[in-house]
Structure 1
Amino acid sequence: MTTTEDPQAAPAVDPGPLIRLTIADCAAKVLHSAVTLGVFGALAESPADAAELARRTGTHHRMVPDFLDALVGLGMLERTEGSYRNSPLAQAYLVPDSSSYLGGFVELTNETLYGTWGRLTEAMRSGEPQHLDPDKGGFVGDRHQDPAKMKRFLAGLDAYSDRMGAELARRTDWDRHSSFVDLGGARGNLAAVLVRAHPHLRATCFDLERTRPLFTEHISGLGLTDKVVFAGGDFFTDPIPPADVVVLGHILHGFDTARRRELLGRVFDAVRPGGTVLVYDRMIDDDRSDPERLLSSLHMRLVSPDGSEYRVADCRAWLRGAGFTDGDAQPLLGTHTLVTAHKEAA
């Protein structure tokens, strides 16, 4: 007996979300290419049609129309009667040399994510981290041996730490404190943002000794050598410099739970009585339902042997275990969580 589908039956499940997820990386690559090609800087000069923009950016006329209209659809450009201009979002964050420029961060993610995530299936089978440079090892690969590459890497981080520093500057009562230590402070950019916002502060960047030349160059260029100093060492073997506040940004997610507890114990010893600890990461929501946070955690598992993101509740429990009094947790930049805890006054 032959049957036919009932034309009045409910429609099949729409495959659209699946298709969009499958090609999601295409949209990101359009953004990455637009930053690399200088599209947003070119349009900051003045609006332009496709032919003029192709001339300004040195791109091929065959590719430009669909490329630009895709950027319109993605909310990065606006189009009026064939003339293109930056959207408010792109104008705010993607024009080179602006104080809020995030193009360095876009380029950093393009460089670091695709190679490692392309090996996710292999990592799922082996459980082994997938390095950016398998011959060199480590998430940063050979950047410390290549000063130019390391400077590009840190410039991408600076693009993000500018915004993070501005948020921390207004979220914390810095008037109560006179000093802070930024663990893993790299070349001191976040510390520079904080001391400029609160000139009474003095900062120490605590990072591996090999980072010192990059720190010295950057902080000297900013004219802040009297406010931000460098201390070289290892978090787990060298004393953390004492301060009123210790900042741990993107630090705990690089270690397993035992090492996190150990490090927070060392931080507790470094924070002066009455001081504060600030911890920020892309922490997982406590019911583990936010896919973006879970993807960030999976990324840390992909690129490091022991790292992952962690729940907000876990972070607060570790801080209490280290001796800090319970503080609060609040969203940060829409992508992170800031957990604050305190050390009782003597």
Structure 2
Amino acid sequence: MDTKIKTEISPSKIIETGMGFWASKTLLTAVNLGLFTLLAKGTLSAEEIKEHLELNERSIYDYLDALVALGFLKRKGLLETATYTNTAETDFYLDKNKATYIGGMLEMGNNRLYPFWNNLEDALKTGLPQNEVKNSNMPLFEVLYSNEQRLRQFISAMGGFQMANFTAFAKNFDFSDHKTLCDIGGAGCELSIQVSTLHPHMKCISFDLPKVSEIAKEKLEEMDFSPRINIVSGNFFNEDFPSVDIITMGNILHDWGTRDKKLLISKAYQALPKGGALVVLENLIDDDRNENVFGLLMSLNMLIETYEGYDYTASKFNRWAHEAGFVRTEVMPLIGPTSAAIAYK
């Protein structure tokens, strides 16, 4: 019996997952080096890539061929005769010169999150964050926003990472009976830009802290969207939400504990008119808690990053929304593991 079991099961998944940081760091390093941005300009040999990126010759073939085997590069030829190009996905999503670039999140993963996740065991034992706030009592966002370069990287990471979901929401939500929208925690105002671009009748507000609002204003000046997007500065815990038809929150609720989640949902309810909608874009964990791996891992990331934050299921959101007074809820699947949880007043 034991022999039969041993021949029918394989350790492959255990090994691949346990050593998954090898593949992860290989990709993250390529993003940080700008490899995919370089190859977006054209096909190059290993020697040419080595010279452009100032790499050592020792493992250049192993590194590039590992990216080929992982599915992130294409290759013709072998070793000295080989030439390399991006795949369709890496060319579309990892070229810094394209508006579709999502590498900001991967850059942050490499430069910030990767070392913090080394302390997951400590986080599980203490329940405390393991990032920049580990040895202080300062809130995460106060620490992040104290350094402009770090703040800009964070905003770029969040905006680029969610862009496809913002676009999907703007395309699929029915805006016909609405005229105004406020994006709470609007960061670089990417969601507002998508909505106002696709729905010219919509007037949008991007609401965030003053330091973030300055960066959002710079972006609007570059894109000339200011007539239909208004940047409002404030603290969404301390101030009332603007009165609008739709309130959106993109990856906001998961930053906070249950009490603050309920407070933000309640504040949205108070600001909305009858028929208005609260839209929360998150990596909702499936109700059976065994399918959305990314959502569950994102919740662990909130353990690493925050004092009380966690990701949640649609059923939990529904309960909180009904407690606040909303009469109807629904879930709109977006891209990959992300969904829009919608509550109507």
TM-score by structure 1 length?
0.91
Gaps of 5+ in 1: 1-5
Counterparts of 2:216 and 2:99, CA distance in 1 = 20
Cα contact 1:254–1:307 (8 A) shared by 2: yes
Query: What residue in structure 2 maps to residue 234 of structure 1?
Result: 235
Per the TM alignment, residue 16 of structure 1 is displaced from its structure 2 partner at its CA by 2.1
Query: What residue in structure 2 maps to residue 132 of structure 1?
Result: 132
Aligned length: 339
Residues 250-279 of structure 1: per-residue CA shift (max 9 Å, x gap): 111122222222221110111122221111
Counterparts of 1:341 and 1:8, CA distance in 2 = 52
Query: What residue in structure 1 maps to residue 111 of structure 2?
Result: 111
Counterparts of 2:66 and 2:198, CA distance in 1 = 39
Query: What residue in structure 2 maps to residue 24 of structure 1?
Result: 20
Cα contact 2:29–2:110 (8 A) shared by 1: no
Query: What residue in structure 1 maps to residue 338 of structure 2?
Result: 336
Per the TM alignment, residue 30 of structure 1 is displaced from its structure 2 partner at its CA by 0.9
Cα contact 1:182–1:206 (8 A) shared by 2: yes
The residue correspondences of 1:1-346 to structure 2 (distance < 5 A) are 11=7, 13-81=9-77, 82-135=82-135, 137-140=138-141, 142-290=143-291, 291-343=293-345
SS for the counterpart of 2:207 is strand
Counterparts of 2:87 and 2:211, CA distance in 1 = 41
SS for the counterpart of 1:174 is coil
Cα contact 2:37–2:97 (8 A) shared by 1: no
Cα contact 1:132–1:140 (8 A) shared by 2: no
Counterparts of 1:9 and 1:38, CA distance in 2 = 46
SS for the counterpart of 1:319 is helix
Amino acid in structure 1 at the alignment position of 2:267: R
Residues 268-314 of structure 1: per-residue CA shift (max 9 Å, x gap): 11112222111121111101113332111121122211110111111
CA separation of 1:225 and 1:279: change in aligned 2, threshold 3 A: same
Residues 53-80 of structure 1: per-residue CA shift (max 9 Å, x gap): 2122222221210111111111111111
SS for the counterpart of 2:65 is helix
Counterparts of 1:108 and 1:126, CA distance in 2 = 24
Residues 206-264 of structure 1: per-residue CA shift (max 9 Å, x gap): 22233232222222222122221122222232110010100011111122222222221
SS for the counterpart of 1:142 is helix
Per the TM alignment, residue 134 of structure 1 is displaced from its structure 2 partner at its CA by 3.4
Cα contact 2:103–2:161 (8 A) shared by 1: no
Counterparts of 2:25 and 2:189, CA distance in 1 = 30
Per the TM alignment, residue 133 of structure 1 is displaced from its structure 2 partner at its CA by 4.7
Cα contact 1:184–1:205 (8 A) shared by 2: yes
Cα contact 1:327–1:341 (8 A) shared by 2: yes
Q: Which has the larger radius of gyration?
A: 1
Residues 110-134 of structure 1: per-residue CA shift (max 9 Å, x gap): 2232132111111122222222353
Counterparts of 1:70 and 1:176, CA distance in 2 = 51
Cα contact 2:331–2:342 (8 A) shared by 1: yes
SS for the counterpart of 1:243 is coil
Counterparts of 2:171 and 2:339, CA distance in 1 = 15
Cα contact 1:131–1:141 (8 A) shared by 2: no
Residues 310-339 of structure 1: per-residue CA shift (max 9 Å, x gap): 111110121122222223213221121211
Per the TM alignment, residue 142 of structure 1 is displaced from its structure 2 partner at its CA by 3.3
SS for the counterpart of 1:316 is helix
Amino acid in structure 1 at the alignment position of 2:41: E
RMSD (Å) for aligned C-alpha atoms: 2.2
Amino acid in structure 2 at the alignment position of 1:71: L
- Percent identity reads 28
CA separation of 1:258 and 1:10: change in aligned 2, threshold 3 A: closer
Residues 20-59 of structure 1: per-residue CA shift (max 9 Å, x gap): 1121011111111111212112222221221122122222
SS for the counterpart of 2:165 is helix
Counterparts of 2:3 and 2:242, CA distance in 1 = 74
Query: What residue in structure 2 maps to residue 3 of structure 1?
Result: none
Cα contact 1:282–1:293 (8 A) shared by 2: yes
TM-score by structure 2 length?
0.91
